[in-house]
Amino acid sequence: MASLLEMKEIFRNADAVCFDVDSTVIREEGIDELAKFCGVGDAVAEMTRRAMGGTVTFKAALTARLGLIRPSYEQVQKLISDNPPQLTPGIRELVNRLHQRGVQVFLVSGGFQSIVEHVALQLNIPTANVFANRLKFYFNGEYAGFDETQPTAESGGKGKVITHLKEQFHFKKVVMIGDGATDMEACPPADCFIGFGGNVIRKQVKEKAKWYITHFDELLKELEER
């Protein structure tokens, strides 16, 4: 296991940095916002807490939550236009700095492609660097499930994405940053995991992560100290 000093060195020399999105890059949990928008907020928020705490499998929790919400195509688009995701303070500056250093930035999320792509656009991250779950709709716009073949649809999926990125781009050092259990379990194959508690603190992650931050300024400082 790498020491904190070694982890900081890995971060400063990373080829790629992967960010979780909900409660990390943005302040909200996208699925909870969608649930509120569709009128089933409380029931779904409780399911999300259980999923993030690592007590149920991710796919089971996702299936159950979406079965309750049953969002239509129109509702998803209206959520994005009426209540766009709020970026976490400091993330824009951090992503810009990583881009300036030639570091590839990826968004790896258990959230939904359409919402995550909207976030990517704001951060100048190409949509090809977005890995998220895809909602499916019938021709009339009604909810038809989600694409269960996406790696991010199941527990361990974020690790699969990182393995794929390492194979495809021959990255030597990949860092994963996020707030939840699914982010922490992506290391390995990630070379370093940084826990983020700036929006919500997950007890399990705070206790187990060797490097835990509550503001992205802490990572900007690391990059400036070189």
Residue found under tokens 């359409």: 114
Q: For every residue of 155-222, which 3-state class applies, written as one string?
A: CCHHHHHHHHHHHHHCCCCEEEEECCHHHHCCCCCCCEEEEECCCCCCHHHHHHCCCEECCCHHHHHH
Token code pair at residue 122: 């704001």
Residue found under tokens 């499998």: 57
* Whole-number Å distance between alpha carbons of 5 and 115: 35
List CB contacts of 98: < 8 A, sequence separation 6 or more.
17, 105, 223
* Whole-number Å distance between alpha carbons of 11 and 103: 10
Q: What is the DSSP letter of 61?
A: H
Beta bridge partners of 42: none
Question: Nearest CA to 72 among 37, 110, 30?
Answer: 37
Which residue numbers are catalytic?
20, 22
**208: how many CB neighbours lie within 10 A of its CB?**
13
